[in-house]
Amino acid sequence: MAAPTTIFRGTFFHTPAYGQLDALRDTLVVVQDGKIARIAPGSEEAAVMREFGLQQVRQLQARMAMEGQYFVPGFIDTHVHAPQYKFTGTGTDVPLMDWLEKYTFPSECSFRDLEAAQHRYSLLVKRFLANGTTTAMYYGSLHLAPNTVLVDTIEALGQRAVVGKVNMDRHSPEDYMESTADGLRDAEEFLKYTLAKKSSRIMPCITPRFIPTCTPELMKVAHALSLGLKVGLGTDVAGGISPSMLTAQRMAVVNSRCLRAHKLAVAGGTRVTPEMETDVITFKEALWLATMGGAQALDLADRIGSFEVGKEFDALLVDTAMGGTSGPFDVFADEDDLNHFEKFINLGDDRNLVEVYVQGVCVKRGSAFLLDPTSAVPTPADEMRLMRAPTPAEPEAAPLDLAHESSDGSMAAARDGEGANAETADEADTAAREAQAETEPESTPRTKRSRR
Ligand SMILES: [Zn+2]
């Protein structure tokens, strides 16, 4: 999916070293064959355009990032359990082992229904791209086929990913476990399937469950870095409640401060020692962890994580000027671009990400996923309707034979009750149902939607 050679002109924020936030102002970045071919001052625009063949005007698009818009490297999430996305934000009231048995294993197992898997993984990859995650390390599920669906989905939507089939041959439910021999065979099949795609964006890996691989506890981040370990950040969906790497960055900062407060209390002191100071992470350091740190952790630091000649162009166009009711924060005339950027890191969300690039290809612009083979790019007239549309319905799930099915059933009943109340609903729900009707056959029973 080679994109035409493009020159971007504007401000580029990145963290080439831990704790170092650089603003490349009025800078030209030439992207050719998905890679950064040249970085030069804006004043050299004419010369750079000549260098890359000005006669090919159609292939060479100059772009001035508008006031209030900046580029930042795409975020790298080093720890996502792909099949758990479906129940992200729920199940926060039980301890780990109960959580695994009640939510995780049944949900992961249900991905054997490949139509459901396709539907859910499409929503997952779109949600992560929308939140600026251009690269994700995905743990799949136990069964081979759903993992190939995940790989297909990532390939189609243009994300970069490292993907592993989960292996588990003990301490798991009898019907969600594999023999060691089956596990090894399927892991090999999965590697072969993914490598056969010959995609430079998608890398298979081996992911045994219950061995901590990517994300050390946030509390130990600063310490791990001081030991020279490679450290990135991960959302850990769905153990983590948010798919946003902006949230992960903020949690790293806050947790590091909690740790310092705890150390201070334990020491019975009132003064922060230099040793305690090293435990605190700033927003600049958190951004490094979410970009360069993640690239290093996934062994991709020579390809992504910062804006350097030779690296691939995975980037987010951030618009910080959308305030009032259209954006998550406001900017003021007496602030500079550094203030705006810090506000984005601390207050921003997916609304601020107006364009998402992977390997130089714009995969998302506004609300449109440009490579999505299943949907046409929406016209502006569609925008309002799409914004109010509910999650599209997935095909009826195949019945599960897990012992935990009854607890799922009672949850479904509770949600049906809510759906019934919503029948007397307000204008928004009516609009949502109208939008739903356009994407679903008329005959779809209402209970199906409310049971989702
Ligand atoms: Zn995890």
**Tell me: the pLDDT tens digits for 118-140?**
999 999 999 999 999 999 999 99
pLDDT band at 421 (very low <50, low <70, confident <90, very high): very low
Say how far apart CA 224 and CA 212 lie, in whole Å.
Answer: 14
Check residue 391 and report its DSSP letter. Answer: P
Q: Is 371 exposed, middle or buried (0-12, 13-18, 19+ CB in 10 A)?
A: middle
**Ligand 1 centroid to residue 182 C-alpha, Å:** 23
**Ligand 1 centroid to residue 286 C-alpha, Å:** 19
**Ligand 1 centroid to residue 248 C-alpha, Å:** 13
Say how far apart CA 306 and CA 33 lie, in whole Å.
Answer: 17
For 162-181, what is the mean pLDDT? 83
**Tell me: the pLDDT tens digits for 65-106?**
666 889 999 999 999 999 999 999 998 888 888 888 888 889
List Cα–Cα distances, 62 to 42, 146, 196, 315, 431, in angstroms: 11, 42, 36, 16, 40
**Ligand 1 centroid to residue 293 C-alpha, Å:** 18
Say how far apart CA 188 and CA 60 lie, in whole Å.
Answer: 43
For 283-290, what is the mean pLDDT? 97
> What's the pLDDT at 445?
36
pLDDT band at 167 (very low <50, low <70, confident <90, very high): confident
Give Cβ neighbours of residue 225 (< 8 Å, ≥ 6 apart): 18, 231
Return the higher-pLDDT residue of 73 and 406.
73
List Cα–Cα distances, 129 to 14, 75, 154, 334, 411, in angstroms: 19, 9, 10, 32, 30
> What's the pLDDT at 262?
86
CB under 8 A, 24+ apart: contacts of 374-380: 374/122
**Ligand 1 centroid to residue 311 C-alpha, Å:** 29
**Ligand 1 centroid to residue 51 C-alpha, Å:** 47
Q: Is 123 exposed, middle or buried (0-12, 13-18, 19+ CB in 10 A)?
A: middle
**Ligand 1 centroid to residue 81 C-alpha, Å:** 6
Parallel, antiparallel, or unpaired for β 69-73 and 61-64? unpaired
pLDDT at residue 219 above 80?
no
> What's the pLDDT at 397?
59
Which range, 43-57, 136-150, 270-284, 410-424, is most confident? 136-150
> What's the pLDDT at 376?
64
- Helices 144-157 and 180-195: crossing angle in degrees, nearest 10, is 20
**Tell me: the pLDDT tens digits for 350-367?**
999 999 999 999 999 988
Could you count the other beta carbons within 10 Å of the beta carbon of residue 291?
28
CA 427 to chain centre: 32
**Ligand 1 centroid to residue 237 C-alpha, Å:** 7
Closest Cα partner for 242 from 369, 335, 372, 133?
133
Give me the percent of the chain exceeding a pLDDT of 90: 49
Could you count the other beta carbons within 10 Å of the beta carbon of residue 307?
22
Give me the percent of the chain exceeding a pLDDT of 70: 76
Q: DSSP strand E in 224-329: where?
A: 315-319
pLDDT band at 146 (very low <50, low <70, confident <90, very high): very high
Q: Within the chain, what is the greatest distance between any pair of CA atoms? A: 71
> What's the pLDDT at 174?
79
What the chain holds in terms of domains, given with CATH numbers, is: 6-74+303-387 (2.30.40.10), 76-227 (3.20.20.140), 245-281 (no CATH)
**Ligand 1 centroid to residue 192 C-alpha, Å:** 25
> What's the pLDDT at 40?
93
pLDDT at residue 294 above 80?
yes
**Ligand 1 centroid to residue 124 C-alpha, Å:** 16
Contact in structure between 36 and 394 (CB atoms under 8 Å): no
> What's the pLDDT at 382?
58
> What's the pLDDT at 431?
45
CA angle 19, 20, 24 (to 5 degrees): 150
**Per-position b or e across 84-120, b if 16+ CB within 10 A of its CB:** bbbbbeebeeeeeeebbbbbbbbbbbbbbbeebbbbb
For 404-412, what is the mean pLDDT? 41
Return the higher-pLDDT residue of 213 and 340.
340
**Tell me: the pLDDT tens digits for 22-36?**
999 989 999 999 999
pLDDT at residue 147 above 80?
yes
Record the tokens describing residue 139, joined without a space.
């743990």
**Radius of gyration, CA atoms only, the chain:** 23
**Ligand 1 centroid to residue 148 C-alpha, Å:** 20
20 φ, ψ (degrees, to nearest 5): -105, 110
**Ligand 1 centroid to residue 98 C-alpha, Å:** 15
pLDDT at residue 201 above 60?
yes
> What's the pLDDT at 63?
56
Element (H, E) at 81: strand 75-81
pLDDT band at 392 (very low <50, low <70, confident <90, very high): low
Least reliable range by pLDDT among 112-126, 277-291, 301-315: 277-291
Closest Cα partner for 73 from 264, 269, 249?
249
Least reliable range by pLDDT among 144-148, 325-329, 424-428: 424-428
> What's the pLDDT at 210?
59
**Ligand 1 centroid to residue 138 C-alpha, Å:** 10
**Per-position b or e across 232-245, b if 16+ CB within 10 A of its CB:** bbbbbbbbbbbbbb
